[in-house]
Structure formats: structure tokens, C-alpha cells
Structure 1
Amino acid sequence: MAGAWERARRAGRAMAGAGRGTLRASRTAATRTASAGRVTAKGMARAGRGVGHATRRLTYAQGAGRTGLGRLIELTAAQSAGDALITVSLAGTLLFGLPVDQARGQVALYLLITMVPFTVVAPFVGPVLDRFRSGRRYVMAGTLFARGLLCWAMAAAIGPADGLTLFPAALAVLVLSKAYNVSRAATMPSVLPADIGLVTANARVALFSLVSAGVTAAAGVGLAAWIGGEWVLRGTMVLFLAAGVSAMRLPRHVDAPDLDLDGEDGEAGEAGAGGPRRRRRWRTLFTLGPVVTEAMRANAAIRVLSGFLIFFLLFLVQEGHLGESGLSEQVLIAILAAGAGAGGLLGAVVASWVRGHSPQVIVLIALGLATATAVAGALFFSLWPAVTVAAVAGFTQEVGKLALDAIVQREIGEEVRSSTFGVVEALLQIAWVVGGLAGLLLSLLSGRSAGPIGLAVIAAAMVVALTALVNARRRRLRARKERLRATPVPVLAEGREETGTPGPPPDPEPFDPGPFDPEPFDPGPFGPEPFDPGPGDGPPGVPDPHGATEGDRPGAEGGHPRPGTTKPLTNPYA
């Protein structure tokens, strides 16, 4: 009995020792796992910091960090990422759940609905933004904060599929997104460094926005499948709120000073002492000016092509008219979408390298390239020519829009710049919808000839638009040369004609002091005192040592520049 008890005690000790060994091994394994996790976390954090530092160096290059352009680029990239997450979160809901092969009437209704935000931006949001030029930072922050709150509301409405909440909230998000883009575009000249042109600066903003949206959308698809779209929207709310705080920390010179344009009777203040009164005009297609109108019409033609290709090629794929290679519909749609996306990204990259080229010429070149590609695609229609046309359409749309933004920022005065951008955005969206509706109608053609015929029709329309724009530009340049040639050159000397090239000035007569020599001037023990003309007394066009502007001279009110006379192309803080 004693031997059995002793054996039991030995077995107990052995089991206890084995347990202690197992526990020790578990502790060692856990320690090693934790150490490996800490190393991995440190490595990921180090890699993230490296990516952040590299991105900061790119966004702050060429003086962009000093003027505030770098912060504006990062802010726009953040809001683009938020918009991409909203789109991913709402994919599959009743807003975006319509299959492509449903009735074309429903797709046409969707196209018309997309115009609603722009009909609000053009007549209402643009003038409001012009009224609050001195608070652009707070306007941009307000659009970001409001979108964050709307994300929370849409997250609560996704589960029960509350269409009464989702639909108005989604339209409000689109309106606020366009309002932010309009305000950001109007702000660009105030943060432009001296070494960067307007087209390059706009392209840099677009490039970082596209990359941010693409990366975030890919990550958002995985997050939506893992935790659900409602939680992605709640995370997007945090992103928008943080971006709103960052918008309020933009440099103060982002806010343009308010000009006293409106009197008690609703008219503008006087242009000068006794000058005529000017009434604020709402921006329409007929009040944009010839240069902006020319660039806007070229971009509208490109938008018509882009909208046409999206729906025309989509329905051709659904009906099997682009399946020569035996690929599935999903693969064909993915190839077309990848081609268009790659073209847009390449357009932003190319536009960021453009320097010293006229934006008007860039717009016409983009339209000519899109037209030539559409004609070639109609002649040799198949899958890969269609992909090429889609890629070139994305490329020219991005390049043309960036050049158009630069033209508006350069040609339009500060006091109505936001209204102009609102009108431009609305007209371009209308052009895209018109192209989409044309694509729906031409996709009704049956047979294999539907693709070549439809693309030939849109190519012919592009040729007509390009020819009309080139002729209008030639007439405008010819008329300007004739006006310059007919402008008389004033000549002040006697005996010469009032027009023509002035001749050399006459030789001055020698000075005769008379019979008495003049008394020499005694400057005193401290030398002659330099002449100080006082503020605003110098001649026009000469920098005033007191910092006085043209508005300080007679003919301007209150020491402020006249409305519409200042259009800064470079930032004074550069």
C-alpha cells in the first residue's frame, strides 16, 4: 500500500513538472509571438512614417509647403478618399443596386437625377461662395463637417433600407462635394507658388486625389465585406471631421478680402470718383468671356464623348456585341473601366509636367486627340480599339478640365470666380448627361454594326465641334490683331502725326543760365535729403515706397483696389 502511495506521489510530481514545463513553454511562445508582433507593428509604423514623409516631400515641393498649396493638396486628397468610401459603402443598396441590363428608362432617370446637385450648385452655391470669400477656410470646413454628419445618418439608414433618408442624404453629399471643389478651385491662385503654373498646380491636386481615392476605394471594398457598409460610413464620418479641422488650419491668406461691391440699392459701388456704377451680374454661358467660353465648349465636347462611351459600351457588353475574345461580361467591363481610369491618372501626371504652355492650346489639343481617336475607333471597331478610345477619353477629360480650371483662375476676377466655377461644373455635367442619353439611344441599334455606327455618329459630332472651335478661335485672334493694328499711338511732339510709330525725341535745348551765374546749392553738413513723394503721389505703374496701391491714388475709394482689377497669379507669400 505504501509503495502504491509512493508511486502515485511520483506520478503527481511528474505531471506537475510537465504542467510547469508546458506553462513555461507557453510563456516563452507567447513572449516570442508578442515580440514578433511588436517588431511587425514597429516595421509597419516605420513603413507608414516613411510613406508619410515621402508624400509630404512631394506635396510640399517647389515652395508648396510655404504658400499653403501642400496643405490644400492633402485636404483635397482626404475628401476624395471620403467620397470614395461613401461610394463603396452605398454600392449594392437601393441607390446603386440597379443591374445594367434593366430597362433603359431607369438608367436615363438615374442620369437625370445626377443633374440635380449641379442645378443647385450653379445658381445658388456659387454666388453664396462669392459672398463669403473672406471665409473660404470655414466654407470648406463646413462642407466637410456636414458630410461627416450625413455619413452617420446614412449608416443608420442602410440596415432598414430607409430610402427617405438615403436618397436625400446622398444628393446632399454630392452637392457639398461640388461646393468644396468649387471653393477649392477658386482658392488656388491665392496659394500658388511662384515656381508652379496654374495647370501644374491643378494637376498636382488631381493626381493626389485620384491616387488617394483609388487606394481608399480598394481598401473600402474589403472593409465593407468584413464589417459592413454602415461601419465604413461611421469611419468615414471620423475622416471628414478630421479633414474639417485641417481645413480650418489652412493659411489665412486663403481667405480673400471682401470688396465693397454692393450699395444700399443693390448696385455695385463706384469704380472711381464720379465713375459709373456697376451691377453684379450672374454668371451664365453668355457672360463667361470668349476665352473661358471657348475652353468650356471644348471640355463640354469631351464630356459628351465620355458620357456616351460609358453607357454605350456598357450596353454593348451586356448585349454581347463586344465579346469577340470570349471573355465574360465582368472581365470586359473591368477592362474598359481600367482603361478609362488609367487614362485619367495618366492625364493628371502629364498635366503636372506641363510648363510654359498656353492652357487654351492644351484644351484644343486635348479635343483634337479625342476626336482623332474616336474616328479611328469607329473605323477599326473591336474590343481593344474601344478600350483605347475609353483610355484616351479619360486622358483628355482630365487634361482638358485641368487646363480649363487654370483659364478660369487666370481670366475671371476674384469677386465672381466661385460663381463661374459653379456655372462651368453645371454645364459640363449637362454635357455628360447628354452624352449618356445619346449612348442609350444609339445602343438600341441591333447587330454587330451597332458599335461602329454609334461610334461613327459621336465621332462626326466631335469633328463638327472641333472645326467650329478652331474657326472661332481664328476669327477671335484675327479680330484682336485688327484692333491692335487700328489702335492709334499718341505722339506728344509737335510736327508729327498723331498715329503711327513715334520717331526719336528731339534734342533738348542747351541750358543758358543768363548773365548771372546761379548760386551753388549748399546741401548742409548732412548731405542732400532724399525726396519722399508720399503715399500714392508717384506715377502710375511705379512701385510706391509706402506700399500704396492704385486704389490709394485719386479715382479709387477708401484706399482699396477697384473691383475686378486684381487677379493675382502668384502668391505674395511665396
Structure 2
Amino acid sequence: MEAAAVNSTGDALVAVALAGTLFFGLDVNQARGQVALYLLVTMAPFALVAPLIGPALDRMRHARRYAIAGTFVARGLLCWGMAGAVSNNDAVTFLPAAFGVLVLSKAFGVLRAAVTPRVLPDQITLVTANARASFAGLIAASIAAPVAAGLAVLIGPDWLLRIAMLVFLAGVIFSMRLPNHVDSPETAPAPAPEDSPPAQKRRWRTFPRVGPAVAEAMEANAILRAFSGFLILYLAFLLRQERFDQVSANVALGLLAAAAGAGGLAGTALGAWMKARAPRIIVFGTLAFVTAVTAVSAAFFGLVAALAVALAAGLGQSLGKLSLDAVVQREIGEEVRSSTFAVSETLHQLVWVIGGLLGLGMSIVADGRLALAIVAGVLSLAFGALLVHRTGGRPLRSRLSLDDASATPARRTS
């Protein structure tokens, strides 16, 4: 939990510094172009993340603490480089370094999720354990973000990135303090059947081999993540161009960020409170809730509706991610767990970027009522398709409950 809190603190400092250089320092049209470029630079290399990072982390099961510490060290060095790039207006250095920080942040998330079952107390579920770690990170980020915003005004984004470097280097200490049994003992691989494909091909085919439970949870979370990316960027630019109830653009953006953050905290708190052993039901229920809130917000669009849908998006992304992590941790064996989490992170980052790009485009051509109505329709169709595919003519709750119950022994043996 301490490492998760330090990670979220450093990520919050970097996010505030990036916001100051890519968004608030420019007018609307310039900011839209800069954000679109950043999203494209972030998305393009992510096709290589799953086949490279996941198998590499699976091979480092015996040295996970050092791998986690390495993500902190590398991000600290990249933040130092980004600080120099900001001072010299060097976009050629800045954007690749920002991409590196993002990838290493995802790598930390993959490692944290992969080691959670090894430190899970018997009396709590995986959803609850994931929620507690995420809650620590959200609290740290909630405290760090406003402090970072004030520091960015006083000392500038370049020095804020240097402070982020120190925070990430402090994370090395907490990484090395993890218990020894986080590292799995190195064992010889089991002999493969003669007709089995080579190991490299199996790694590339990790996603098709995850099984229906994990695949469906990934699909539902992909929908939630794309919705979150769309909503954040669409509303951010919409609130900069329109005034609601005599509220200034900066105040509206602050309220939007607060609503999204409150939704994330609420989702994490719900995950910690619910002693759920059926995380797939939580994923589907979360998607249904987000769809309903979006439809109502489209009908009564205004500042309050925008804040409500932002809160719902934050809650949905947080609670859905916790449930997906629990499904993967329970269903997937330890030998390929990191690869599966890497595939999941890659998929969800890609759809978030695609949703964000759609949000940028929609902010030019559609008002809030029309945009949310379109999104509500797309969410309804996606949710219906998932239900039809999942139920196969049987009640959803009984199908999900039976599958979750039958998968419980798999968790104990993984």
C-alpha cells in the first residue's frame, strides 16, 4: 500500500506538470492539437507493450521487488529529463519521456496486481484487497494534486517534475521493504507436449487463451475505459468554451476534476466495503449504472448533469478495474499472470486514447446534450451485446454466479 501511495503521488505530480504544459498554457484550439498529438504518440507504441513487458515480467517472478523498484528509478530519471525539456521547450525529448513515464506507470500497475494474491490475507477477498491498495493511491493523489497545482504556479512545471523525480526515487525504499515471498522461487518450466506451439507464439496468444470469464470482464472494462477517455477530454474542452450558471471555465474544470476524483474514491470505497465473491456481476452492474446515468444526464444536460456523469465515469472505471483485477488474479495462473495484466493494460490504454480522440472531435461538432445522447446509445448497445453474448438465453445472474462459484478452486490453486 505504501508503494501504491508513492506511485500515485508521483503520477499526480507528473499529471499536473503535463496539464500545465499541454492544456492550460494554450488557447482552446492550440490545446486541442497538443492533446491530440500527445494521445497519438501515446497510442502508437502501445501495440508493442503487451508482447514485450508482460513476458519480461513473467520471467522476473523471482525478482519482482527489484522490478518494482526499477519502475520507480526509471521514472525518476525520465522526470529529470522532462524537466530539462520543459525548460528548453524541447518537444522531441519531452513527448518520448512522457510516454516512457506512462508505460512504466502501467508496468508498476501490472506488477502490483500480479503480486497481490501472494500477500492476500485469508479473511479478505481479492476485490477488497485491490480496493484497499487503490484507495491508498487515490488518497495520496487527492492530497498531492492540489499541492502540485499550487507548486506549479509558484515554481513552474519543470521544478515540479524534479520533485516528482525525488518522489519516485523514494518509492524504491518501499519496494524493497516488501516481504520476501512476493518473489516466486525460480523453477524449471514443465515439459511441453510435442505438438504444442513454441513459447514465443504462446506469449503472443495470451489474450485468446484467457477464457470467457476474463475476456468478458476485459470487454466490459474496455467499454468503461473508452467512455472515461471520451468524457474527460470532451467535457474538459466543452467547459472551456461554454459557461454554465455563471461559473467561470476554471471553476467548472475544477468541479469536473473533483467530481471525477470523488467517483474514483466512491468506487474504491465500494470495492473495499463489498465482500463480493462475484466480481463479474459487479462489472456488469457498473456498466449498467454508468449507462443509465449517461442517458439521464443527456436528457437534463447542464453543469450538474456534467458533474454527475463525470462522477459516474470515475466510479465505473475504478470499480470495474478492481473487479477485473480480481477476475484475472483468480482465473489466471501465476506463470502468465503478468502477461495477462499487460494485455489488459494495453487494451484499456488503447481504447482510452481512442475514446479521448473521439471526445476531442466531438467537442468541435456537438453540444453536450447531443454528445451524451450518442454516447448513451452506444453504451446501451454495447451493454446489450454483452448480455446477449453472456446469457445465451439463461438469466444473467444465475450464469455469472455459477461461473464465479466454479472458478473459486482455481484461485486457491494458482
Regarding TM over 0.5, the answer is yes
Pick aligned residue for 1:301 from 201, 223, 235? 223
Paired residue secondary structure (1:92): helix
The corresponding residue for 2:376 is 459
The corresponding residue for 1:360 is 280
Say whether the 8 Å CA contact 1:200–1:351 is kept in structure 2: yes
The corresponding residue for 2:122 is 194
CA distance in 1, matches of 2:292, 2:23: 36
Q: How far did residue 356 of structure 1 move?
A: 3.4
CA distance in 2, matches of 1:141, 1:79: 11
Q: How far did residue 471 of structure 1 move?
A: 1.5
Pick aligned residue for 2:139 from 211, 216, 219? 211
The corresponding residue for 1:175 is 103
Percent identity of equivalent pairs? 50
| Residues 1:352 and 1:227: Cα distance change in structure 2 (over 3 Å) | same
| Residues 1:104 and 1:153: Cα distance change in structure 2 (over 3 Å) | closer
Q: Residue deviations 1:311-355, cap 9 Å, x none?
A: 2223332332xx341222112222222111111111111111110
| Residues 1:359 and 1:168: Cα distance change in structure 2 (over 3 Å) | same
Pick aligned residue for 1:109 from 37, 44, 49? 37
AA in 2 matched with 1:146: A
- Structure 1 residues 217-226 or 399-408, which shifts more? 217-226
AA in 2 matched with 1:287: R
| Higher RCO (C-alpha under 8 Å, 6+ residues apart) | 2
Q: How far did residue 160 of structure 1 move?
A: 2.3
Q: Residue deviations 1:438-484, cap 9 Å, x none?
A: 223333336xxx32222111111111111111122212979xx99xx
The 5 A counterparts of 1:21-420 are 73-93=1-21, 97-102=25-30, 104-116=32-44, 118-261=46-189, 269-270=191-192, 279-280=198-199, 281-282=202-203, 283-320=205-242, 323-420=243-340
CA distance in 1, matches of 2:34, 2:157: 25
Paired residue secondary structure (2:392): helix
CA distance in 2, matches of 1:354, 1:473: 24
| Residues 1:117 and 1:270: Cα distance change in structure 2 (over 3 Å) | closer
| Residues 1:164 and 1:312: Cα distance change in structure 2 (over 3 Å) | closer
Q: Which runs of 5+ in 1 are unaligned?
A: 1-72, 262-267, 483-565
Paired residue secondary structure (2:340): helix
Say whether the 8 Å CA contact 2:23–2:31 is kept in structure 1: no
| Residues 1:422 and 1:439: Cα distance change in structure 2 (over 3 Å) | same
AA in 2 matched with 1:464: L
CA distance in 2, matches of 1:325, 1:95: 23
| 2:393 maps to 1:473 | no
AA in 2 matched with 1:393: A
Q: Residue deviations 1:55-103, cap 9 Å, x none?
A: xxxxxxxxxxxxxxxxxx1111112111222233444336874443337
Say whether the 8 Å CA contact 2:13–2:160 is kept in structure 1: yes
Please give the root-mean-square deviation of Cα atoms over the aligned residues, in Å: 2.7
CA distance in 2, matches of 1:313, 1:220: 22
Say whether the 8 Å CA contact 1:336–1:387 is kept in structure 2: yes
Name which one, 1 or 2, has greater alpha-carbon Rg.
1
CA distance in 1, matches of 2:85, 2:351: 33
AA in 2 matched with 1:352: A
Say whether the 8 Å CA contact 1:192–1:569 is kept in structure 2: no
Q: How far did residue 121 of structure 1 move?
A: 2.4
Q: Which has the higher helix share?
A: 2
> For this pair of structures, how many residues does the alignment match?
401
| Residues 1:284 and 1:347: Cα distance change in structure 2 (over 3 Å) | same
Say whether the 8 Å CA contact 2:72–2:172 is kept in structure 1: yes
Which TM-score applies when normalising by structure 2? 0.88
AA in 2 matched with 1:210: L
Say whether the 8 Å CA contact 2:68–2:175 is kept in structure 1: yes
